[in-house]
C-alpha cells in the first residue's frame, strides 16, 4: 500500500478554524486527520502540502519512518504549526491502518484499557464573566450528567491582577463550586496567564474549593517557573498541552513535581508520539488527560488514544458546547452519556468527514480565540 495524495479542508468554526486532512492510498483506502491550531489554520494547511512530497509513495503503516521524514529530515524547528501539520497526516495514517486491519486504533496501540472514558466539559461558560452566569451554566453542565467541568475565571488578565480582578476570579470559582456541589470535580484553567507570585496567590486562594487541578498558571515554556508554582501550590498543577516535543516533556518530568500531564496529539505530531509520551509520564507515576479542545476528528482520535492508556485520567470535551452544525460535518461524532464516552469498536478512528457540509462553513481569518481580549469567553468570531 502506498500514499498517493493528501487533501485538506477547513471548517470555519467562529472561535477556531478547524483544519482536516484526507490521506489517500493506491488501494482505495483513505484516512482522516486533523491539524487544528488556534490562529494559523492556513499556515498549517500550507505546511501539510509542503511536507506532502516527502511521504508520497510511502507505506502508511510505516508511522515512525513517516514521522522522521516529516520532522527530523526537514531539519527545521517549526513548533506547533509544524507538528500540527505532521499530526494531520499521521493521524490519517492510523485511520488507514485501522481500516486495513479491521481494528480500532486503540487495538493497534496496546489494546483497550477502559470500558468507557470519564469526560469533563469545557466551553460551557459562554456569556458574561459574572459569578451568576458561571453558576447557572455550571448547573446546566451537571444536569447533563457530567461529573467534572473546566473553566477559566480570569478574564483577559495577564501576569498581574488588580484586587478587584483577583476577588472576581475567586468569586467565580466559589460560584461554580456552589453550583455543582462537593462531589463534582472543578478544573481551573490558567491559559499561561500569570507570573509566579500571582499564580501562587491564586492557588492558595482557590484551595478551599478543592479544584482537581490548576492548569498552566504560568507560561508553558518557562519550565522552572512551572516547577516553582507546582512546588508551592496547594492545588495540583496540570500542564503540557502546548508542548511540541518529547524533549520538553522529559525536562518537565525530570523535576518530579507535576503529576497531571495534558499532551496535545496535534501539537506533538500525532498519536504515536503522544502515546510514547504518556508512557514517559507513567514512568514518573503521573496521569494523563490529553488535550482535546480542537475539532471533532481530534476528539475521535483522543478517544482512541485514551482507551489504550493505563494512566488515563479524564477526557476533555468541547463537542457538546460547540456550534450545532459540528455534528453534521463528521459521521459518528463522539458522544457523552451521563458524563462518560462509550468507546467505539469500528475500524480506524470510526469517523469520516462530510465534505459537503464542511464547505458550508468557510474559513474566516477572524475565527480564533483571543484569550487576552476582554469578552473572549463569549466565543464569538472576532469580525
Q: Are 267 and 80 in contact (CB under 8 A)?
A: yes
Number of neighbours of residue 143 by Cβ within 10 angstroms = 8
Is 175's pLDDT higher than 80? yes
Strand partners for 150: 187
Under CATH, to which class is 106-349 assigned? Answer: alpha beta
Average pLDDT over the chain reads 97
Q: Are strands 330-331 and 352-353 parallel, antiparallel or unpaired?
A: antiparallel
| Residue 128 burial by Cβ neighbours in a 10 Å radius (0-12, 13-18, 19+) | exposed
Q: What is the pLDDT of residue 295?
A: 96
- Grid cell listed for 117: 472514558
Is 316's pLDDT higher than 80? yes
How confident is residue 381, by pLDDT bands cut at 50, 70 and 90?
Answer: confident
Residue 243 gets which letter from DSSP?
-
pLDDT in tens, 265-308: 999 999 999 999 999 999 999 999 999 999 999 999 999 999 99
* HSE value, Cβ hemisphere, 13 Å, CA-based, for 264: 29
Q: What is the pLDDT of residue 58?
A: 98
Under CATH, to which class is 3-103 assigned? Answer: alpha beta
Closest CA to 81 of 22, 30, 19, 33: 19
| Residues tagged active-site | 191, 291
Q: What is the pLDDT of residue 382?
A: 81
**Domain spans in the chain, listed from the N-terminal domain onward:** 3-103, 106-349
pLDDT in tens, 192-229: 999 999 999 999 999 999 999 999 999 999 999 999 99
Rounded-to-integer distance, Cα 352 and Cα 370, Å: 30
Rounded-to-integer distance, Cα 78 and Cα 70, Å: 11
Let me know if the fold of 3-103 is the same as that of 106-349.
no
Residue 105 gets which letter from DSSP?
G
pLDDT in tens, 228-245: 999 999 999 999 999 999
pLDDT in tens, 138-161: 999 999 999 999 999 999 999 999
| Residue 103 burial by Cβ neighbours in a 10 Å radius (0-12, 13-18, 19+) | middle
Rounded-to-integer distance, Cα 158 and Cα 68, Å: 37
pLDDT in tens, 49-79: 999 999 999 999 999 999 999 999 999 999 9
Closest CA to 243 of 11, 362, 83: 83
* For range 178-189, the mean pLDDT: 98
pLDDT in tens, 85-141: 999 999 999 999 999 999 999 999 999 999 999 999 999 999 999 999 999 999 999
| Residue 221 burial by Cβ neighbours in a 10 Å radius (0-12, 13-18, 19+) | exposed
Amino acid at each position: 500500500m502506498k500514499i498517493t495524495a493528501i487533501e485538506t479542508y477547513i471548517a470555519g468554526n467562529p472561535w477556531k478554524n478547524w483544519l482536516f486532512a484526507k490521506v489517500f492510498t493506491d488501494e482505495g483506502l483513505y484516512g482522516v486527520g486533523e491539524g487544528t491550531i488556534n490562529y494559523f489554520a492556513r499556515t498549517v494547511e500550507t505546511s501539510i502540502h509542503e511536507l506532502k512530497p516527502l511521504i508520497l509513495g510511502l507505506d502508511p503503516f510505516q508511522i515512525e519512518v513517516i514521522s522522521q521524514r516529516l520532522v527530523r529530515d526537514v531539519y527545521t524547528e517549526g513548533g506547533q504549526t509544524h507538528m500540527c501539520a505532521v499530526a494531520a497526516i499521521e493521524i490519517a495514517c492510523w485511520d488507514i491502518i485501522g481500516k486495513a486491519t479491521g481494528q480500532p486504533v486503540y487495538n493497534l496501540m496496546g489494546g483497550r484499557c477502559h470500558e468507557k472514558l470519564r469526560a469533563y466539559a469545557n466551553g460551557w461558560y459562554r456569556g458574561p464573566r459574572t459569578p451568576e452566569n458561571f453558576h447557572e451554566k455550571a448547573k446546566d453542565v451537571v444536569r447533563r450528567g457530567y461529573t467534572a467541568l473546566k473553566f477559566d475565571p480570569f478574564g483577559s488578565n495577564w501576569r498581574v491582577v488588580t484586587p478587584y480582578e483577583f476577588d472576581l476570579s475567586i468569586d467565580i470559582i466559589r460560584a461554580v463550586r456552589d453550583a455543582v456541589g462537593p462531589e463534582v470535580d472543578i478544573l481551573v484553567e490558567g491559559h499561561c496567564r500569570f507570573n509566579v507570585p500571582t499564580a501562587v496567590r491564586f492557588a492558595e486562594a482557590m484551595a478551599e474549593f478543592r479544584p482537581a487541578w490548576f492548569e498552566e498558571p504560568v507560561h508553558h515554556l518557562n519550565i522552572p517557573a512551572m516547577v516553582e508554582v507546582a512546588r508551592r501550590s496547594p492545588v495540583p498543577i496540570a500542564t503540557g498541552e502546548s508542548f511540541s516535543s518529547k524533549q520538553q516533556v522529559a525536562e518537565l518530568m525530570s523535576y518530579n513535581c507535576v503529576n497531571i500531564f495534558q499532551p496535545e496529539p496535534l501539537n506533538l505530531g500525532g498519536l504515536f508520539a503522544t502515546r510514547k509520551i504518556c508512557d514517559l509520564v507513567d514512568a514518573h507515576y503521573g496521569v494523563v488527560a490529553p488535550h482535546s479542545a480542537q475539532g471533532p476528528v481530534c476528539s475521535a482520535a483522543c478517544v482512541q488514544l485514551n482507551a489504550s492508556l493505563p494512566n488515563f485520567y479524564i477526557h476533555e470535551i468541547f463537542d457538546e458546547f460547540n456550534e450545532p452544525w459540528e455534528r453534521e460535518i463528521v459521521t459518528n461524532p463522539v458522544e457523552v452519556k451521563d458524563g462518560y464516552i462509550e468507546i467505539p469498536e469500528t475500524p480506524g478512528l470510526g469517523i469520516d468527514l462530510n465534505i459537503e457540509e464542511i464547505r458550508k462553513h468557510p474559513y474566516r481569518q477572524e475565527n480564533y480565540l483571543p484569550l487576552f481580549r476582554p469578552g473572549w469567553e463569549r466565543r464569538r468570531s472576532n469580525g
